[in-house]
């Protein structure tokens, strides 16, 4: 199913300033400002053009327990209510300070694949 949401709206899902290093990698957040949805999978996640395997990506919708992104599917979906944060924790090497480009494909039941492209800075 083709994406029906314009890219300028998708860019607004990224929470500016949420890109941070952690002890085991880094994290970022999206906020659903468009409409209630259902997450049924994730496509590639890339940082500065480097693909991150989905088994290193964990997501938490709101205050829920984090799950491995590769475990989210049409058979095991996750609700994505309006105005809810989704936290992405990536178990990888922390990133160098400075600006980084994040690209992420999120698959939803309602709108198909949403490609989110954002840039943020780690201090």
Spell out the SS3 assignment of the chain: CCCCCCHHHHHCCECCCCCEEECCEEEEEEECCCCCEEEEEEEEEEECCEEECHHHEEEEECCCCCEEHHHCCCCCCEEECCCCEEEEEEECCCCCCEEEEEEEEEEECCCEEEEEEEEEEEC
Query: What's the total number of domains in the chain?
Result: 1
Whether 2 maps to a domain, the answer reads: no
Whether 66 maps to a domain, the answer reads: yes
Q: Containing domain of residue 99, as a range?
A: 7-122
Terminal CA-to-CA distance of the chain, rounded, Å? 38
Q: In CATH, what number is assigned to the domain containing residue 82?
A: 2.60.40
| pLDDT, tens digit, 9 for 90 and up, residues 19-48 | 999 999 999 999 999 899 999 999 889 999
Whether 1 maps to a domain, the answer reads: no
Whether 111 maps to a domain, the answer reads: yes
Whether 12 maps to a domain, the answer reads: yes
Q: How many CB atoms lie within 10 A of CB 68?
A: 14
| pLDDT, tens digit, 9 for 90 and up, residues 62-120 | 999 999 999 999 999 999 999 999 999 999 999 999 999 999 999 999 989 999 999 99
């Amino acid at each position: 199913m083709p994406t029906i949401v314009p890219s300028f709206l998708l860019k607004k899902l990224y929470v500016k300033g949420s890109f941070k290093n952690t002890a085991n990698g880094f994290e970022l957040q999206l906020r659903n400002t468009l409409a209630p949805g259902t997450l049924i999978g994730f496509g590639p996640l890339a940082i500065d053009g480097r693909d991150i395997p989905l088994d290193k990506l964990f997501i938490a919708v709101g205050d829920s327990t984090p799950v491995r992104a590769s475990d989210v599917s049409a058979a095991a979906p996750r609700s994505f209510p309006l105005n809810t944060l989704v936290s992405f924790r990536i178990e990888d090497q922390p990133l160098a300070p400075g600006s980084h480009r994040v690209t992420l494909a999120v698959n939803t039941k309602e709108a198909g694949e949403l490609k989110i492209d954002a840039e943020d800075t780690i201090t």
